[in-house]
Amino acid sequence: MEIKQEKAERLVQIAKMYYEENLTQSEIAKEIGVSRALICRLLNEAKKYGIVTIQIHSPEEDYSLLKNQIRNRFKIDDVFIVNAPLGQKITDERISESFSDVLLNLLPSCSNIGCSWGKIIHEALESLASKKIDFQLSANASVFPLAGNMITTGYSIDAQKIVQTFSLCFNATPNFLYAPAFLESPMELDLYHKTENYKNIAQCWKNIDLAIIKIDNYPTSPDLGTAARYKVLLKEKHACGSFLAYYYNLQGEIIRSDFDYSIQIPIEYLASCKKVIGICSSNVMPKSLLGAMNTGLFTHIIASQDLLESVLDLKRI
């Protein structure tokens, strides 16, 4: 669409005053000596002739691209992205909210739900409980821990506590694991494997529909007894992250030790689970998430935009 040079220059002048200098239409009209109605008409003409173009930037569009990149590269069913540039506390609050939404979406098709430890998981469930949501699982739904009890002083919420909160929130049947996460010898491990409590929980693990797991860094805090369980193996195998009491490297290989007598869901049961949610709080490092996704175990990931973008940057190296 053609426009005379003189008119184009006038439209550019008015557009700059309005869009760059942030003057009001009335202020521009007063300065130039015309009516405000004329300024409004000239601004519309500036759009008509392409002198001014309006571009709407939607974060959801950016997320769509990022989601597709993560899904395609890691063969993950879905990714839930949190935009939280305001610090650790806000990020964790938004991740907790996102997890609540994801949970309400996935739960209707699940009857057997396993939970790991993690403060962020517990806080999300407590928040749901406080809202008194009108949602219940099927009558035979059960929830159970994915690992034994953590006795470490000051450690964030134990998996048994999360099971209790979950059962109260969704009216599910709780199943508890009466054992520490780590035993001291193969003899202790063998004896516990023969108990009715372990057999019941092992059956739950075998039939699991949904696993809720917090992804952590390596080294972890607390240490999860790594010196006794792994000696120097984690350093030799270049561990980069953990979930439950498992450690893995950047390639997603689970690091095995002959001295690991932990009580937790076997990897083969987790691998057969239809839905495995990986939750990343604000302190998770890109290498920890990259290694976790490379395991091929996780079907759903909840993480911040910055973390996921950093993972893609690492993947390109």
* 167 CB burial (10 A radius; 0-12, 13-18, 19+): buried
* DSSP class per residue in 137-175: --TT-EEEESB-B---TT-S--HHHHHHHHHHHHTPEE-
Can 5-48 and 59-316 be said to share one CATH topology? no
> Domain boundaries in the chain?
5-48, 59-316
Residues in the chain: 317
Residue 292 φ then ψ, to 5°: -60, -45
CATH, domain range 59-316: 3.40.50.1360
Say if residues 204 and 212 touch (Cβ distance below 8 Å): no
Class at the top of the CATH hierarchy for domain 5-48: mainly alpha
Q: Supply the pLDDT for residue 139.
A: 75
Burial of 282 (0-12, 13-18, 19+ CB in 10 A): buried
- Please give the chain's pLDDT, 317 residues, in tens: 567 888 888 899 998 888 888 888 888 999 989 998 898 889 888 888 888 877 655 555 568 889 999 999 999 999 999 986 667 888 888 899 899 999 989 998 899 999 998 888 988 888 887 777 777 677 789 999 999 987 654 444 578 889 999 998 888 999 999 988 889 999 999 999 999 999 999 999 999 999 999 999 998 877 778 888 999 999 999 999 999 999 999 999 999 999 999 999 999 999 999 999 999 999 999 999 999 999 999 999 999 999 999 999 886 55
User: What pLDDT shows up at residue 155?
Assistant: 47
